[in-house]
Amino acid sequence: MVDFLVALTIVLAFLSTFFLTPVWIKMAKKQHLTGKDMNKISNKSVAEAGGIAVVAGFVFAALIYIGIQTFIFKDTTQLTNILAILVTILIITIIGLLDDILGWKKGLKQWQKPLLTIPAAIPLMMVNVGTSTMNLPFLGNVDFGLLYPLLLIPLAIVGTSNGYNMLAGHNGLEAGLGVIILSFMGYVAWISGLGWLALLSFCMASALLAFLVFNWYPAKVFPGDTLTYSVGALIGIVAIMGNMEKIAIILFIPFFIELFLKAKYKFKTENFCTPNKDNTLSLPKGNIYSVCHLSLASLFKINKKLATEQNIVILIYFMEILLVFICVVGFLL
C-alpha cells in the first residue's frame, strides 16, 4: 500500500503539471507575460514563468499524500517538516514570480535578488530542520547549535536557490538538471530510510519531467525564476534534511563554475549565445561567460554542426550525470 501511495503521488505530480502547463501558456500569453527566445533568430514570443505550473503540480501531489497519510493511515509523524517545506517552496515561488514580472521592468540588481530569497528560509528555521552536528574536514564533528537554524539554513536556501538560478537560459536546461539532481537525491534519501523526503524529491522531478515536454527545444514556455528558485531551494532542503551536504556540493559543481565565470565579469554577462541562420550558435563576442558557453566551445571543437542549443543542453546533462556517478562511487559503494 505504501508503494502504491508513492507511485500515485509521483504520477499525480506528473499529470497535474502536464495538464496545467498548457493552461498557463495560454494565460501568460493573454496577459503578455512573454519573452523572446534569445538563442533563436525568430522573434516568436514564448510564455514566461512556467514554473508556476510545476510548483502547482508538486504542491497538489504533496497535499494529496498528506491527506491520505493523515486520514487513512493516521500517520502525521513528518507532517510538520513536510508543511514547512511546502511553505518555503510557496514563499520562494512568489518571490520568483515577482522577479519574473518586475525584475526586468524595475531592473533588480544581482545583489538584491539573494536578499529577496531570505524570507523563504523562515519556516525551516522555525521548525529547526536538519541536524546541527556536521562532520567537517580536518575538524571532525562540529555542533553548530543555534547557528545552524539561524545562519546555516538560510545560507543554504539562499545559496542553492540563487546558484541554481544562474545556470539557465537554454531550452530544457533548468528542468532537465532538476530531474537529474532531485531523482538522485531522492534515491539517496530512499535508501537512507527517509521515504517521505524521497517522495518530495521524486514528486518535483516528476513535475519537472512533465514540464520538460513543453520546455524542450523549441520551447513553448520558459521556466522563469519561479522554477529555478523553487527547484534550487528544494535541493538545498533535501541536502539539509537528508544530511547530503557533501553530495549536494559535488552535484552543484557546474553552478560553482557558473558563479566563478559570472563573478569574473562582475555579474554583467548573460548565458545566451549568438544564433546563426543554420540553427547553430556562436559564442557571444567570441568569449566564454557561462558553462553554456564552455559547452558550446567544446562542441565547436568537435564539429561546427554540433554547436546547437539542444547539444549544449545535452552535454551539460552528461556532465551532471558524471557527477552523479562520482557521488555513487564516493558515497554509496
Output the pLDDT for position 136.
Answer: 66
**In the chain, helix, strand, coil percent, each to 5?**
70, 5, 25
Output the pLDDT for position 29.
Answer: 95
Output the pLDDT for position 71.
Answer: 94
pLDDT digits (tens, 9 = 90+) for 241-250: 998 999 999 9
Lowest-confidence region among 103-107, 179-183, 275-279, 290-294: 103-107
Lowest-confidence region among 35-49, 98-112, 184-198, 210-224: 98-112
Output the pLDDT for position 99.
Answer: 86
Output the pLDDT for position 109.
Answer: 66
CB 281 within 8 A of CB 312: yes
pLDDT averaged over every residue in the chain: 93
Output the pLDDT for position 144.
Answer: 87
Tell the residue number behind the cell numbers 543555534, with chain if given. 146
pLDDT digits (tens, 9 = 90+) for 303-329: 989 999 999 999 999 999 999 999 999
Query: What is this structure's pTM?
Result: 0.95
Q: What residues does each domain of the chain span?
A: 2-252
Q: Round to whole Å and give the CA distance between 135 and 142.
A: 6
Output the pLDDT for position 108.
Answer: 60
pLDDT digits (tens, 9 = 90+) for 3-44: 788 899 999 999 999 999 999 999 999 999 999 999 999 878
CB 61 within 8 A of CB 16: yes
Q: Round to whole Å and give the CA distance between 148 and 125.
A: 9
